[in-house]
Amino acid sequence: MVSITCYGGVNEIGGNKIIVQDGDARFSFDFGTSFKRRYDYFEEYLKPRPGVGLRDMLHMGLLPPLEGVYRDDLVPSPDFWARWRAAPDYRRLTLDGVLLSHAHLDHSGYISFLDPEIPIYSTVMTAFISKAMQDSGQADFESEVCYANLRKLDKGVLRSSKISKRRPFVFVGGMPGSGTASSFWNRLPGKTKEFQLTTSASPPDKIGSLPLRHFPVDHSIFGAAAFAVQTSEGWLGYTGDLRLHGGDQEETRRFAAEMRNKNPLALICEGTRAGDASGASEADVHENALREVRQARSLVVADFGARNVERLVTFLGIARETGRKLVVLGKDAYLLEAMHLASPQRVPDIRSCPDILVYEDPKAALRSWERELRERYASRVVGANDVRQQQGECILCFSFWDVNDLIDIEPEGGVYIYSSSEAYSEEQEMDLRRLRNWLKHLDMRFVGDPEGGDHRFHSSGHASGPDLLEIVRTIRPHILVPIHTEDAQYFVTNLGSEGIEVRAPGRGEEMVLRS
């Protein structure tokens, strides 16, 4: 018997945690953070407590009570699981692995809490992005995707030890041959902790005992993949997140065509933009942003998602076309380095790109990776004074979280290009309101404000409603399971009469799949 149970991504965008069981084989498609549910209870200064491990996470429903899959070092007391065994959605199980579709935290974030012996299957690009973000981010037990900072129980409180353990990643598609890439993957920034390397003997073409295929797809982050697993009832496909209007749209089409050839029993398909019409393509973003930069006579700030390297490459091209330099933050430079190691052909090498400068934001103390990065690019590190004196020659890659650094730069007018997604929560709406206040105070022109309906500078990472229907119709699964959507009914309305059974999942409810 084949069954799937969705513990996230049900009537919400993201948070995918989809447990598949086929006889003795058990695995998960993604294991992400449900941001909507998290922000119902927590915010920047009210967070789950690391000192109590899994307690807050299970109590507030951010994690399902699945005994046997989580880290032992996050169990806050010997009798912890006793109180959860009576819960209606409690299960005891083990996992053969997690099939990680891409490095966005709504798909990867809560891998942090999983047993560090569970293999994580991903592309090299997804693994390297995840590690770079963890290396350069703040220490946080909610984002320990690539390596776990182990804790120990001390007088009833879980305290950090001096040991970090790397999760065993299985690289679908193979590991890059460069020694520098291996060195990056095996290294823990800083020298204050012991790094336990864990290797996996799992083959990349099987998950447990089941045959496995992966397919590159187009998304707003490099390295995204869809998966197909051959179960005892037939092939089961999972799209992850994907689109048909980016630079790699042919990869998505190839996935759909190859998936159709497998005559799949079922397809678990994302539906973020179900019902939405087509929007701007990446080519449209390039042309619209290029027009704005050409007209600008002073500083240009480009605000886009930190991991959207395709957008960064777009603005790098615009900088070259307009005779400007692209100024990135240290954490973005570190991410670029890691991504170049994963794919030298696709991601620019900063060392050979004199158009890229590294911004020296003022900090009381530098972490080891920041200090080493500034040493590597000493001749191309610029501070506020440098940017102030050459405002008409720079495109500054900042986001709302960096806007206070503009006080030091003292922009002389200039334009702020918002090239990120619209607000999906009240908190994000408040951030946009604060951003408008900042730009008004600094006398900078704001273009791309989604509240005003200006979407010229952003291309969604997700397929539109019509494109989703095209993908599903191409694949023609017997059963369609919409996930990562607030509008599963869209698929019922548009596909219900075409011989495709649409089955909307319930959160924590087991769904049996039969051929």
Which pLDDT tens digit goes with each residue over 404-427?
A: 999 999 999 999 999 987 666 677
Architecture of the CATH domain 282-452: 3-Layer(aba) Sandwich (3.40)
Average predicted confidence (pLDDT) for the chain: 92
Higher confidence at residue 189 or residue 457?
457
**Amino acid letter at 328?**
V
From the CB of residue 137, how many other CB atoms can be counted at a distance below 10 Å?
11
- Which residue's structure tokens are 């610029």? 382
Kindly tell me if the per-residue pLDDT of 90 is higher than 90.
yes
Distance CA 137, CA 119 (A): 23
| Phi and psi at residue 263, to the nearest 5° | 45, 65
Higher confidence at residue 243 or residue 189?
243
C-beta separation of 327 from 396 below 8 A = yes
Could you tell me what percent of the chain has a pLDDT over 90? 78
Helices and strands counted in the chain (H then E) = 15, 26
Q: Give residue 49's pLDDT.
A: 95
Which of 272, 219, 223 is closest to 245 using CA atoms?
A: 219
The partner residues of 157 in beta bridges, in order of sequence, read 154
Q: Give residue 423's pLDDT.
A: 60
C-beta separation of 128 from 337 below 8 A = no
- Which residue's structure tokens are 């320990």? 144
Q: What is the CA 376 to chain-centroid distance, rounded?
A: 27
Q: Give residue 306's pLDDT.
A: 65
pTM across the whole model: 0.95
What topology does CATH give the domain 2-275+462-513? Metallo-beta-lactamase; Chain A (3.60.15)
Domain locations in the chain as residue ranges: 2-275+462-513, 282-452
| Phi and psi at residue 417, to the nearest 5° | -95, 110
pLDDT level of residue 266 (50, 70, 90 thresholds): very high
Q: pLDDT digit string (tens) for 95-133?
A: 999 999 999 999 999 999 999 999 999 999 999 999 999
Average pLDDT over residues 328-335: 94
- Which residue's structure tokens are 């539906």? 271
C-beta separation of 97 from 6 below 8 A = no
pLDDT level of residue 194 (50, 70, 90 thresholds): low
| 234-238/225-231 β-pairing | antiparallel
Higher confidence at residue 143 or residue 175?
143
Which of 228, 245, 187 is closest to 20 using CA atoms?
A: 228
* 208 token code pair: 């447990």
| Minimum mean pLDDT range among 8-12, 64-68, 172-176 | 172-176
The partner residues of 330 in beta bridges, in order of sequence, read none
- Interhelix angle 330-342/124-136, nearest 10 degrees: 160
Q: Give residue 465's pLDDT.
A: 96
- Interhelix angle 330-342/309-321, nearest 10 degrees: 110
Q: What is the CA 407 to chain-centroid distance, rounded?
A: 30
Which residues, including other chains, have CB under 8 Å from residue 435's CB and lie 6 or more apart?
A: 400, 403, 418, 446
Distance CA 73, CA 87 (A): 22
Q: Give residue 297's pLDDT.
A: 93
Which of 420, 414, 385 is closest to 401 using CA atoms?
A: 420
Q: pLDDT digit string (tens) for 461-491?
A: 999 999 999 999 999 999 999 999 999 999 9
Cα distances (Å, whole numbers) of residue 247 to 252, 468, 481, 505? 10, 17, 27, 32
Kindly tell me if the per-residue pLDDT of 198 is higher than 70.
no
Collapsed DSSP state (helix, strand, coil) of residue 251:
helix
C-beta separation of 463 from 244 below 8 A = yes
C-beta separation of 210 from 231 below 8 A = yes
